[in-house]
Structure 1
Amino acid sequence: NKMALSSFDIDAPRWDQSTFMGRLKHFFNITDCRTAVLPDSRLDEAKALVESCRAGSTPPGTSVEQLYYAKTRLYQSCVNTGSAGHCWLFIGKTVWLCSQMAHVYNTIEMLETKHANGSSLTLILVVEAVLTAFVLFLRQIGVAYVTATSTALATAVGLNLYTKKAPPLVARWVPFAAVAAANCVNIPMMRQQEILNGIAVTDENGNKLGHSKKAAVKGITQVVISRITMAAPGMIILPIIMQRLEKYKFMQRITFLHGPIQVMLVGVFLIFMVPAACSLFPQRCSMAVSKLEPELRDSIVSQYGDKVQLVYFNKGL
């Protein structure tokens, strides 16, 4: 164990992050919902253990497995490390439950999907926008909130009008279209500073090369695709399941439980879909130097010639 700890790199990924299965194992660990009920003292202990390991002073008797548990199950899931897309106000802090688990807004949006009229849908989308904008920098909240809510609401109400004569199942899918539209607005608005100023790019060894707007756009696009994929099964498959269940007499007798049942089923979908969607693309994204902005490309070429063919950056979550 001592020999293993002497060469142990706490910041190295436990699984190969270049493969989907490796990323899936990683995200299944850091999205373990059981960590939500752990006391703050356990999270503080995990953070202290990770930091002591980084400083080279791991407590005697600590195993590699304990270090992995502290890092991937507790530290990475509950402490904001300042990766792309995170508000600087919370870097190094334990993330509040409602913001750390912000993907649960999909659960809220499943409520009343069968009879999503103007008022109920408005409330659902307003709550969704509040949750997704929660960790934004204060100056961005107003614009992001208004833009995201307006887009989602316009999409949902417009589709509701368009699908009035459509089969009931089609109407049940309207909230998913609204969620997809909201994500297409929410994520870029949350990370607008990266789009305007660029995201930090490095070489293979982590040496900073500059900031790229094109890299930011690529990373944000991948995040949007992941978020929509995350919501898709629960909001496309679940309406089909509910439509069939509601034909049974026992379901017709417990209409008051339809909402809680949908929430529970969406939660089950999300347990699997959050890590799966986050695993679609590597966290450390790459981009060819030839596709960067001319100024940055020329700067890299002038300094490194053709030695640097790819740049790397954190795509965010």
Structure 2
Amino acid sequence: MSPPAAPPVFIPLGGALLSDNELGTAYVSATTGAVATALGLNALTKHVSPLIGRFVPFAAVAAANCINIPLMRQRELKVGIPVTDENGTRLGESAQAAKQAIAQVVVSRILMAAPGMAIPPFIMNTLEKKAFLKRFPWMSAPIQVGLVGFCLVFATPLCCALFPQNSSMSVTSLEAELQAKIRESHPELRRVYFNKGL
């Protein structure tokens, strides 16, 4: 009888595991950033329309993504991610490619959350003025969850596909040392490719 398979280990694109300290820092920073954003915006929106106050969670989610993703992938920003030619031949590691990849992921994650956190507030604001929710106020939460779920069904695949998984950038945008190495081995190459991650 063969031994059970070991559980899969997540290795970032740069190839190095994150330490417990780095994971803890990323988690605490993202949580603190989201909570601070939510509390700050809640204080600012106390004297404005309730509709505006409904968008505070979206701002908190956006702030958390802007903090968490770069921190979770900080090793990639330091050592770079693999870049290849169009045939998949590895040319080296680039921190510039990592920056572009992480920026694309941050944008797609924020846009992914946008429909589910922007459309339901308008619908709920309208529904709460109607007799139905005044008569059945307990229906508010299930309706909101349903609306958010419906939005995510479409937003998630669309925003994952916003940027190609195998993104590219100009050789001239890479670090000087890597540019020199590529010009030496592949003088005709104009663009390199990299996996942007999720």
Change in Cα spacing, 1:193 to 1:87, as seen in structure 2 (3 Å) is closer
TM-score (norm 1): 0.57
- Cα deviation, 1:61-119, whole Å, max 9, x if unaligned, reads xxxxxxxxxxxxxxxxxx9996749996xxxxxxxxxxxxxxxxxxxxxxxxxxxxxxx
- Of 186-195 and 252-261, deviating more is 252-261
Give the distance between the partners of 2:9 and 2:191, measured in 1 at CA.
27
Contact 2:14 2:82 in 1 (8 A): no
Contact 1:85 1:316 in 2 (8 A): no
Contact 1:80 1:86 in 2 (8 A): no
Tell me, yes or no, if structure 1 residue 189 matches structure 2 residue 189.
no
Secondary structure of the 1:280 match is coil
Tell me, yes or no, if structure 1 residue 273 matches structure 2 residue 152.
no
Within the candidate set 208, 225, 235, 2:107 is matched to: 225
The aligned runs of 1:53-202 (5 Å cut-off) are 84=13, 138-202=20-84
Secondary structure of the 1:247 match is coil
Secondary structure of the 2:83 match is strand
Change in Cα spacing, 1:284 to 1:83, as seen in structure 2 (3 Å) is farther
**What is the deviation of 1:271?**
0.6
Contact 1:200 1:209 in 2 (8 A): yes
Give the distance between the partners of 2:166 and 2:9, measured in 1 at CA.
17
**What is the deviation of 1:278?**
0.6
| Structure 1 unmatched runs, 5+ | 1-78, 89-135
Within the candidate set 195, 220, 235, 2:117 is matched to: 235
Q: Which position in structure 2 is the counterpart of 1:316?
A: 197
Q: Which position in structure 2 is the counterpart of 1:43?
A: none
**What is the deviation of 1:189?**
1.2
Give the distance between the partners of 1:250 and 1:277, measured in 2 at CA.
34
Contact 1:83 1:314 in 2 (8 A): no
Higher relative contact order (Cα pairs below 8 Å, separated by 6+ residues):
2
TM-score (norm 2): 0.90
Give the distance between the partners of 1:316 and 1:150, measured in 2 at CA.
24
Give the distance between the partners of 1:80 and 1:314, measured in 2 at CA.
18
Secondary structure of the 2:91 match is strand
Give the distance between the partners of 2:114 and 2:27, measured in 1 at CA.
22
Contact 1:149 1:182 in 2 (8 A): yes
Contact 2:65 2:109 in 1 (8 A): yes
Secondary structure of the 1:264 match is helix
**What is the deviation of 1:140?**
2.4
Say what the alpha-carbon RMSD is for the aligned residues. 2.1
Secondary structure of the 1:285 match is strand
| Structure 2 unmatched runs, 5+ | 1-7
Change in Cα spacing, 1:172 to 1:188, as seen in structure 2 (3 Å) is same
Identity of counterpart residues, as a percentage? 54
**What is the deviation of 1:259?**
1.6
